[in-house]
Amino acid sequence: MADVHIFLEADYRFGVGTLTMRVDHVNWDKPDLYDGEFWYPVEGIQLSTIGVEIGQRQVMIRGRCLRTMGK
């Protein structure tokens, strides 16, 4: 099972509020340089604050927030 991560609004593009997501895949080969930092495409399942699945989600996440996931 994939790990659940919580991303602050400033750490993903372009959403509002905190994002809770079960991350299935990080595309390390497709970074995007934005605002002086690398951002990576991430795929997974968005979860509600109580852990209910909302649905599939693809977002760009700030690279420094993905360090704990390894490369």
Residue-wise pLDDT for 55-71, tens only, equals 999 999 999 999 777 66
Domain interval for residue 8: 4-69
- Report the domain count for the chain: 1
The two three-digit tokens of residue 50, written as one number: 């109580």
d(Cα 12, Cα 68) in Å, to the nearest integer?
Answer: 16
Q: Which residues contact 62 (CB under 8 A, 6 or more apart)?
A: 10, 11, 12, 37, 39
pLDDT in tens, 4-50: 999 999 999 988 999 999 999 999 999 999 989 999 999 999 999 89
DSSP letter for each residue of 25-57: EE-TT--EEETTEEEEEEEEEEE-TTS-EEEEE
Q: How many CB atoms lie within 10 A of CB 62?
A: 18
